[in-house]
């Protein structure tokens, strides 16, 4: 084949090779920047991979220690991978194994919380320096605290969070919302009680969130439309509540629990005797939620009559199953 015959192929291949070389140079620069950012946070430079579609930072182990005083986090994980797109530096996706996290917030709760999980996945989207969305999902997790005996096992644990900064002064007594979150999962309590929780949360403060001490000055946590369900997935209680910080690191609790299975709810939250077979009420009962987050109290409010009809109403869930 003569040079004249090869020349058309060169005209086609040359721009492609130049573009590929330029893209690889760009990818390499982005990967080096990502590796430096991970090293700055975790203290270990990762191995980079993923060319050409993604930038992946791989670590055999990861350790992160942040904060102190009002809020401290110690996080250790086994094999860790953090990915992002070469052309999208605002979205990060990670997978983690053998997670051990210790959270201490004496300005918020009085005791340390330890969380372990064999595997978890997460994503983080950043926009204009704010957390547009943070999600963490673990198939199984274990929570340990001096507040309860033994570990609390949670299946299908989910945490979703985003910042919604609002510097506008509130028109009423409630500060504007500065962040939103959602907690969900199926918790296995002492006594083999199994409860699925879904808690939409709004975090209020007079100014955008910058520190825990600043939030404690007038800030609140609002639970709006929370639900408690049995193992069958059918909700048996709804929760609307406000939590506010108290001196000494406790959280005051005030709100309403609405349930068509009042004896089951009292057994779960109030520590009363197990109701055995309970049937759903025609008209839900209302309870005032008071006390603190670690020691909630229930007080039933007067509601219209029209109670049990055992031959017509479905049974309440047995939370021990």
Question: pLDDT tens across 68-124, in order?
Answer: 656 678 889 999 999 998 888 888 999 999 999 988 776 566 567 889 999 999 999
The pLDDT mean for the chain works out to 84
pTM as predicted: 0.84
pLDDT at 202: 94
The residues, any chain, with a CB within 8 Å of residue 71's CB and separated by 6 or more, are 104, 105, 107, 108, 212
Does 235 score more than 70 pLDDT?
yes
Which of 94, 59, 103 lies closest to 78 in space, CA to CA?
Answer: 59
Find which of 105-109, 288-292, 294-298 is predicted with most confidence, using mean pLDDT: 288-292
| Per-residue three-class SS string for the chain | CCHHHHHHHHHHHHHHHHHHHHHHHHHHHHHHHHHHHHHHHHCCCCEEECCCCCEEEEECCEEEEEEECCEEEEEEECCEEEEEECCEEEEEEEEEEEEEEEEECCCCCCCCEEEEEEEEEEEEEEECCEEEEEEEEEEEEEEECCCCCCCEEEEEEEEEEEECCCCCCCCCCCCCEEEEEEEEEEEECHHHCEEEEEEEEEEECCCCCCCHHHHHCCCEEEEEEEEEECCCCCEEEEEEEEEEEECCCEEEEEEEEEECCHHHHHHHHHCCCCCCCCECCCCCEEEEEEEECCCEEEEECCCCCCCCCCCCCCECCCCCC
Question: pLDDT tens across 4-58, in order?
Answer: 665 666 667 777 888 888 988 999 999 999 999 888 888 889 999 999 889 999 9
> For 186-204, what is the mean pLDDT?
86
> For 203-212, what is the mean pLDDT?
81
Portion of the chain with pLDDT greater than 70, in percent: 86
Cα–Cα distance, 206 to 197 (Å, whole number): 29
Beta bridge partners of 131: 126
Domain boundaries, the chain: 1-163, 167-321
Question: pLDDT tens across 126-156, in order?
Answer: 888 888 999 999 999 998 877 667 788 999 9
pLDDT at 3: 56
Confidence at 304, pLDDT banded by 50, 70, 90: low
């Amino acid at each position: 084949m003569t040079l004249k015959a090869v020349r058309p192929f060169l005209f086609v291949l040359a721009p492609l090779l130049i573009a590929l070389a330029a893209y690889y140079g760009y990818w390499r620069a982005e990967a080096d920047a990502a590796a430096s950012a991970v090293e700055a946070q975790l203290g270990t430079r990762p191995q980079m991979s993923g060319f050409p579609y993604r930038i992946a930072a791989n670590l055999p182990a990861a350790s992160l220690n942040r904060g102190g005083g009002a809020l401290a986090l110690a996080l250790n994980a086994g094999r860790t991978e953090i990915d992002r797109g070469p052309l999208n530096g605002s979205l990060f996706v990670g997978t983690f194994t053998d997670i051990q996290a210790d959270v201490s917030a004496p300005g918020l709760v009085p005791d340390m919380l330890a969380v372990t999980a064999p595997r978890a996945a997460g994503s983080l989207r950043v926009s204009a320096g704010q957390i547009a969305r943070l999600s963490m999902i673990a198939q199984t997790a274990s929570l340990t605290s001096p507040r309860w005996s033994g570990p609390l096992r949670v299946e299908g644990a989910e945490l979703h969070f985003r910042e919604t900064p609002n510097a506008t002064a509130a028109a009423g007594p409630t500060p504007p919302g500065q962040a939103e979150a959602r907690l969900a999962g199926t918790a296995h309590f002492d006594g083999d009680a199994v409860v699925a929780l879904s808690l939409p949360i709004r975090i209020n403060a007079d100014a955008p969130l910058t520190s825990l001490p600043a939030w404690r000055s007038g800030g609140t946590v609002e639970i709006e439309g929370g639900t408690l369900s049995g193992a069958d997935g059918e909700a048996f209680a709804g929760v609307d509540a406000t939590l506010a910080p108290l001196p000494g690191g406790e959280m005051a609790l005030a709100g309403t629990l609405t349930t068509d299975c009042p004896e089951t709810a009292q057994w779960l939250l109030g520590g009363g005797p197990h109701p055995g077979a309970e049937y759903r009420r025609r008209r839900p009962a209302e309870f005032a939620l008071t006390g603190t987050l670690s020691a909630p109290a229930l007080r039933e409010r007067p509601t219209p009559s029209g109670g049990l009809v055992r031959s017509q109403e479905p049974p309440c869930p047995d939370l021990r199953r």
